[in-house]
Chain A
Amino acid sequence: MFGSLTTPRRVVVTGMGIASPLGVGVAHVWQRMLASESGIGPISLFDAKDLPAKIAGEVPSGSKTEGKLDFNEWIPVKDQKKMDRFIQLALVAASEAVEDSGWVPETEEDRYVTGVMIGSGIGGLPEIYNGSQLVGQGKAKRLSPFFIPASLINLASGHVSIKYGFKGPNHAVVTACATGVHALGDAARLIALGDADVMVAGGTEAAVCEIGIAGFCASRALSTAFNDSPDQGSRPWDEGRDGFVMGEGAGVMVLEEYEHAKKRGAKIYAEVIGYGMSGDAYHITAPAEGHDGAYRAMKAAFKNSGVTPADVQYVNAHGTSTPMGDDLELEAVEKMFGDSAKGLAMSSTKSAIGHLLGAAGAVEGIFSILAIRDGVAPPTLNLEKPSRESVIDRVAKVPQERKIDVALSNSFGFGGTNASILFRKAP
């Protein structure tokens, strides 16, 4: 239940879809994650030989039946050139989520109350790069008429709405690596406030391209020490970590007003019970001391959620595998949880799929819900020796069976933007 609203309504999750470096499809991806498999490998989407970082998490190519990605199975070939890869990935994840939810609007009124809010951190970077090359070579007239609509971030939401005829709020979040959580939280608020009854929400990203990798290399954010052993590159909290590994993909949920879902007999995965945001007002890329912004985002998520840290059994950390951020987040979570920190399970699933930037929060939200559903905390791969000890159990290397009723998921972005979201077992 959200607070400070005149007519707050409960919001539940009734559908989920994933395209990630561990594959396509929630069941397939989750099964591989619980088998402690890694989706990180050498960059294949372009030639990275001149860049210091040569590894990434790419969505594997192959057929749908083997849990891999062939866009031709999802999007008509003639439409593919009208959308950059991040939009195509969003369509894949959204298709799975919508089908999973079983929600098919039958009347115009049904369509009016169904909206879309899929964000992205960066948007159509490959398309922008390729378009710039053309213009730079004096071939501006050869630029595709689809260049702009293929690159724009809100076109992910646009294409999903066009495909399904969802005529409710159509929106897109852009808050760097906090995008996914912000999209889920903001969409839940729209439902709670009555702007929509159903929202298809999440994040998408496809920035594994020349300037995407080069740009993050330039800001010294990426791991460069594990080019010969890619599956070891993402190692949150481990003392050997040296930066994040870029991933790509999309995570989409169908969020729905509780009574609406009950009335149509929908399967309910979980309830969104809390959402909190904060700003660091400190530095463009570095978190503030003690990760005060993270602490305040979590605190805000608990406010009016009806639960306290003592009720939470699992935290899906932002945990990107950067030297500075991981331990600061750990410190903030310890502060937030106080006495309940002891024995709390907190893992970083980025260890298996890398950092999906704007899609991270949405994909990790799905993992948090699956953790609740199956009573299992997914592992933090490559956590051999933590750089900082803690009473919190970081689920090193293998999953742990646990009873999980409530899970918290964190995402923080450049610019000093932080978001936390709380999910509870289905009512």
Chain B
Amino acid sequence: MSDTADKVKKIVVEHLGVEEAKVTSEASFIDDLGADSLDTVELVMAFEEAFGVEIPDDAAEKITTVKDAIDYIEAQKAA
């Protein structure tokens, strides 16, 4: 697993208070991990802070799973 994936999952565990095992790549923040819309806003802010990237609102709306977040951040870092 990449460093990015590790870090993303750690942030999700901390912010949503869920067990690490539940945070699979396919897990949806809202459907599987019990987040609400405000939680997801906060998560995106945490990703921005941790990775030093900017995630505009229209991109943030499309980040609904752990994998979405990892992919977006990796793409930003590669760019």
Contacts and interface: CB of A to CB of B under 8 A. Distances in A.
B42 A145 contact: yes
Interface in B20-40: 38
A76 interface: yes
A77 B49 CA distance: 20
B17 A144 contact: no
A168 to B, nearest CB: 24
A142 B45 CA distance: 7
B15 A78 contact: yes
Interface in A76-101: 76-79, 82
A77 B17 contact: yes
Interface in B26-79: 38, 41-42, 45, 49
B45 A146 contact: no
Nearest to B40: A145
Interface residues of B, number: 8
B42 A76 contact: no
B5 interface: no
Contact of B16 (A78, A141, A145, A149): A78
B9 to A, nearest CB: 15
A144 B15 contact: no
Nearest to B17: A78
A141 B17 CA distance: 24
Contact of B42 (A77, A79, A141, A146): A146
Contacts of B41: 145
Contacts of A82: 38
A82 B49 CA distance: 19
A141 B41 CA distance: 11
Interface string A114-155: 000000000000000000000000000110111001000000
Contacts of A142: 45, 49
A79 B16 CA distance: 9
Contacts of B15: 78
Contacts of A149: 38
Contacts of B17: 76-79
A9 B38 CA distance: 42
Q: Report which residue of A76, A144, A149 has the largest number of chain B beta carbons within 10 angstroms of its beta carbon.
A: A144
B16 A144 contact: no
Nearest to A78: B17
Contact of B38 (A76, A77, A146): A146
Nearest to A77: B17
Contacts of B49: 142
A51 B16 CA distance: 38
B15, B16, B38: residue with the most chain A Cβ atoms closer than 10 Å? B38
12 contacts: A76-B17, A78-B16, A78-B17, A82-B38, A142-B45, A142-B49, A144-B42, A144-B45, A145-B38, A146-B38, A146-B42, A149-B38
Given A76-B17, A145-B38, A146-B42, 16 more contacts: A77-B17, A78-B15, A78-B16, A78-B17, A79-B17, A82-B38, A141-B45, A142-B45, A142-B49, A144-B42, A144-B45, A145-B41, A145-B42, A145-B45, A146-B38, A149-B38
Q: Which 7 A-B pairs have the closest CB atoms?
A: A78-B17, A145-B41, A145-B38, A145-B42, A77-B17, A76-B17, A78-B16
